Amino acid sequence: MEYMLLVMSMIHRIKATNVIFGLALGYKSIIIPIFAIAISIFVSFTFAAMYGIAMAALGMLSTIATGLAIDAYGPISDNAGGIAEMAGMSHCIRERTDALDAAGNTTAAIRKVL
């Protein structure tokens, strides 16, 4: 909240200063993830040298496919429901696509937590 008030107080200054200030605040938000990645690289190198770094990178990247699939499921099922409604399909099909859409919304909410 304090950052938002700080940005609001900077509105009346020069626009370029606002852009630089916004970038600086954005960079503050990524300090913890960068330290976490640096620590994991250091620990993996300490235990297994370059092989450890490769395994740590593989471990971090292996969750991307699952995350993308979970994020993509919701809009796809929602679009399927919209197409079924616009095509004038039966009410039974719309109920099924609504159930799929609800599942997509649930998975999207779970993904945001993870």
Domain that holds residue 4: 1-62
Residues 54 and 67 in one domain: no
CB-CB contact of 94 with 82 (8 Å): no
User: What's the pLDDT tens digit per position in 50-77?
Assistant: 999 999 889 888 888 888 888 888 888 8
Residues 40 and 70 in one domain: no
Total residue length of the chain: 114
Give pLDDT, residue 51: 93
pLDDT string in tens for the chain (114-residue length): 677 777 777 777 777 877 888 788 888 888 898 999 999 999 999 999 999 999 988 988 888 888 888 888 888 888 888 898 899 888 898 888 888 888 888 887 877 776
Q: Position of tokens 């993870």?
A: 114
Number of domains present in the structure of the chain:
2
Residues 79 and 96 in one domain: yes
Give pLDDT, residue 1: 64
Residues 12 and 67 in one domain: no
Whole-angstrom distance, CA of residue 100 vs CA of residue 39 = 40
Give pLDDT, residue 105: 83
Give pLDDT, residue 22: 79
C-beta neighbour count of 81 within 10 angstroms? 20
Q: Up-side HSE of residue 84: CA atoms within 13 Å toward CB?
A: 18
Q: Position of tokens 């999207």?
A: 108
Whole-angstrom distance, CA of residue 69 vs CA of residue 87 = 26
Residues 33 and 88 in one domain: no
Question: Mind giving me the DSSP string for 26-49?
Answer: HHHTTHHHHHHHHHHHHHHHHHHH
Nearest to 80 by CA among 102, 107, 98, 106: 98
Residues 5 and 44 in one domain: yes
